[in-house]
Structure 1
Amino acid sequence: MNDTKSIGIFDSGYGGLTVFKSIADKLPGYNYIYMGDNARSPYGDHSYETVYQYTLECVEWLFAQGCPLVILACNTASAKALRSIQQKVLPLKYPDHRVLGVIRPTAEVIGNFTETNTIGVMGTRGTVNSESYPIEIRHFYPELEVIQQSCPLWVPLIENNEHIHPGADYFVQKYIDELLAKSPAIDTILLACTHYPLLMSKMAAILPEGFKLVAQGDIVANSLADYLKRHPEMEVRLGKERAKRFYTSGDEKVFDKNASIFFDETIVSSRLRW
């Protein structure tokens, strides 16, 4: 057992920090390494092949840093790359490593939030076009109607810290209106991008009273806690020094400034070296 081993958390940019924050609050006793591929973000409009290649490179980098368990805290990466990595790469190259995503744990519980059995899913083009959420949700809640809406401008607005300004209101309203026009029965909206919790206050101000907005952070944190209970052979491999390290493929100073908004504490990152 190597007590320096960490849980790796990956996102194409900053959004995964909202999931990391929930995980660190739920499971504070472990070591963590966060890696943001900011130099190549956003992933939402890239092809399957490109997202898979970028995600695999980042996962293998985290493996090399001593992470036997990696969480893809990115819906686009989970939708376009996770299954291939789990089925084709891990058995051949890393049989004692595991990679988990954010889609399945969300699909397992989303039916608990709706009273009309109709939910809206708002995500990047890549996540929406993959049909990953309708497919996964159907496994657990075949009675649910899942209506999707891509929001291609939300991630760039958030990544550039423009979401806090009034100019972002138009695009928040635009995509909500487009979603709700597809069905009057929607009573729950799943934020299927880990960036989107930063828009929750704007969304809540627009939506009718009683609407449920579901972010993924606590869902993924609870799922990870359950996973570690069910897999003690992985849990004992993880270091318990409560260390948190942050890496970016982009500019460290820019990352630190923006990441602190997502993580709600001061961050000092390092530039990763491939």
Structure 2
Amino acid sequence: MFAPIGIFDSGYGGLTVMKEILQKLPQYDYIYLGDNARAPYGNRSFDTVYHYTLQCVQWFFDQGCPLVILACNTASAKALRTIQQNDLPKIAPDNRVLGVIRPTSEIIGSYTDTKKIGILATRGTVQSESYRLEIDKFFPDIEVHQEACPMWVPLVENNEHQQPGADYFIEKHLQNILQHQKDIDLLLLACTHYPLLMNKIKQFIPDNIKVLSQGLIVAESLADYLQRHPEMEQRCSKSGTRAFFTTDDPNDFNHQASIFFGEPLQSNHVAL
């Protein structure tokens, strides 16, 4: 029976997470869905993000996915808990939906010596306070400083992130957070688009500050989850297939997605 693992993002950024998951766990079948027609999610209300995300989760379940990864920080921040607590028991009590915030929060303490970290994210993720709350559960001694970077996703999605014009917006937000707290020794890229800005970010920060992206963390967390939950692991089919879907134009998606995924891919349109 075809029972792929679903990977969801509001657009393309989740492909940076999927790429790491495929390297770590290539044997499983995967379906990726980008809700590009309604992206970006970062500036939308909690209620809107919740309804969009739930609609997409239901679509994954309809495709036979027993497990869905929200490879989107905004969806994880604004929708995951409600879906897990309120919706799953009603619509699919045996299925599971996981996010990217908790796995990151569980291990982030091992990357900082000063116990002062910076979170770079969309406005929606920052306003949700999800990272601050989750990190405090595991590392109450860590001081969390957040900076919303609303221009970073549009820069990446318009393929302007490597151009000189991007420097102003990248340097501006890095200066904002580092001026606020000079002892920060770790910056977390809390948006799956931001790894594509890694080289630019490193140009504007001191060498002693580590920059952490989430793909590998989420991949290792998923491997650990499947090992700890054999009943779910056995439900996931293993033919090594990958399928890609978008709610927008597949041709546009294919072109842009290769920037994030690192290789060409073919997608199909989904109407939600």
State the 1:214 CA deviation: 0.4
State the 1:41 CA deviation: 0.4
Partner of residue 101, structure 1: 99
1:220 matched to 2:215: no
Alpha-carbon distance in 1 for matches of 2:163, 2:253: 20
Partner of residue 56, structure 1: 54
State the 1:205 CA deviation: 1.3
Alpha-carbon distance in 2 for matches of 1:86, 1:273: 24
Alpha-carbon distance in 2 for matches of 1:93, 1:60: 8
Q: Could you tell me whether the CA contact under 8 Å between 2:7 and 2:33 is conserved in 1?
A: yes
Q: Compare 159-168 and 75-84 and name the one that shifted more.
A: 159-168
Alpha-carbon distance in 1 for matches of 2:68, 2:85: 15
Map 1:20-31 → 2, pairs under 5 A = 20-31=18-29
Q: Secondary structure at the match of 2:165?
A: helix
Map 1:246-265 → 2, pairs under 5 A = 246-265=244-263
Partner of residue 156, structure 1: 154
Partner of residue 85, structure 2: 87
Which amino acid in the other structure matches residue 196 of structure 1? Y
Q: 125, 134, 138: which is aligned to 2:132? A: 134
> How many residue pairs are counted as aligned between the two chains?
272
Which amino acid in the other structure matches residue 142 of structure 1? P
State the 1:162 CA deviation: 1.0
Q: Could you tell me whether the CA contact under 8 Å between 2:6 and 2:30 is conserved in 1?
A: yes
Deviations 1:109-154 (A, max 9, x none): 0111111000000000000000000100000000000000000010
1:125 matched to 2:138: no
TM-score, normalised via structure 2 length = 0.99
TM-score, normalised via structure 1 length = 0.98
Alpha-carbon distance in 1 for matches of 2:52, 2:174: 30
Q: Secondary structure at the match of 2:69?
A: strand
Which amino acid in the other structure matches residue 140 of structure 1? F
State the 1:260 CA deviation: 0.5
Partner of residue 46, structure 1: 44
Q: Could you tell me whether the CA contact under 8 Å between 2:9 and 2:72 is conserved in 1?
A: yes
Partner of residue 177, structure 1: 175
Q: Which runs of 5+ in 2 are unaligned?
A: none
Q: Secondary structure at the match of 1:46?
A: coil
Deviations 1:33-74 (A, max 9, x none): 000000000000000000000000111111111111000000
Alpha-carbon distance in 2 for matches of 1:158, 1:62: 26
State the 1:92 CA deviation: 1.3
State the 1:29 CA deviation: 0.3
Alpha-carbon distance in 2 for matches of 1:271, 1:164: 29
Q: Secondary structure at the match of 1:9?
A: strand
Q: Which runs of 5+ in 1 are unaligned?
A: none
Which amino acid in the other structure matches residue 161 of structure 2? H
Q: Could you tell me whether the CA contact under 8 Å between 2:162 and 2:200 is conserved in 1?
A: no
State the 1:206 CA deviation: 1.1
Partner of residue 5, structure 1: 3
Alpha-carbon distance in 1 for matches of 2:184, 2:213: 16
Alpha-carbon distance in 2 for matches of 1:181, 1:47: 29
Alpha-carbon distance in 1 for matches of 2:160, 2:207: 26
State the 1:273 CA deviation: 2.9
Alpha-carbon distance in 2 for matches of 1:237, 1:135: 32
